[in-house]
Amino acid sequence: MAEVATQERWFASNAPEMAETWQEFHDSIYEYGELDRKSKELIAAATATVGRCPHCTQGHIKKALDVGATKEELSEAFMITALISSGTELHWMLEDYEDLLGDNSGNKRWFEENADQMGMQWRTFHDALYEDSALDRKTKELVAVAVAEMRRCRHCTKSHIKGALKYGASKEETSEAIMIAALIASGTQLMWMKEDYEELLG
């Protein structure tokens, strides 16, 4: 999805006015804002995996490398994506899980109470990803915000917005991470099976 040339795409041929406004939205994400391009591409690559679009993921990995991201930083962004994707499954309807499966003591999460070894290993996985490493904590939290938003977990999104702000992100930068997620969510729908779209609609 990186650097899409809409005139060559099926959606530009068949819905040109819509395609033009989408392209303007796409371009605005990379032209404006407080986040540097490397951070934007790291967030884009991570969220493209959530959208399960191989074309978008490959494109944003290449763009991230082109603007200075290292393989280690990209790999950590994908590990954050894996963590948040697992975490959203544990937390997206937390109140119901706790009501139905928890002990209501408030001392442990429902999964730590009922699947303690698994829960302990998940917590170890969680904590390890936030130790000092190639990515700084602020960037990790911004990636986490965008991924949690795409995974539609209100608890996780709210928690990582607070984390991003705590570790130095501004409200503008955090909002931009969410806007990148919105762009990638739309772009993956246009590109995830582009060969088939082009064959059938191009």
CA 63, CA 164: separation in Å to the nearest integer? 24
Measure CA of the first residue to CA of the last residue in the chain; give whole Å: 17
Q: Which amino acid is at 112?
A: E
CATH 1.10.1240.10 fits 6-201, yes or no: no
pLDDT reported for residue 116: 87
Is 34 within 8 Å of 170 (Cβ atoms)? Answer: yes
Along the 202 residues of the chain, how does pLDDT read in single tens digits? 444 444 478 888 899 999 999 999 999 999 999 999 999 999 999 999 999 999 999 999 999 999 999 999 999 999 999 999 999 999 899 889 888 998 767 677 888 888 889 989 999 999 999 999 999 999 999 999 999 999 999 999 999 999 999 999 999 999 999 999 999 999 999 888 888 888 888 8
Q: What is the dihedral of CA 158, 163, 165, 171, to 10 degrees?
A: -40
Q: CB neighbours (10 Å) of residue 104?
A: 8
For residue 7, the model assigns a pLDDT of: 45
Task: Answer yes or no: are the C-beta atoms of 28 and 6 closer than 8 Å.
Answer: no
Residue 77 is predicted with a pLDDT of 98
Q: Domain residues of the chain, as ranges?
A: 6-201
pLDDT value at position 81?
97
| Degrees, nearest 5: CA angle 168-77-160 | 45
Can you say how many angstroms the Cα of residue 44 is from the centroid of all Cα atoms in its chain?
Answer: 7
The model's pTM is 0.89
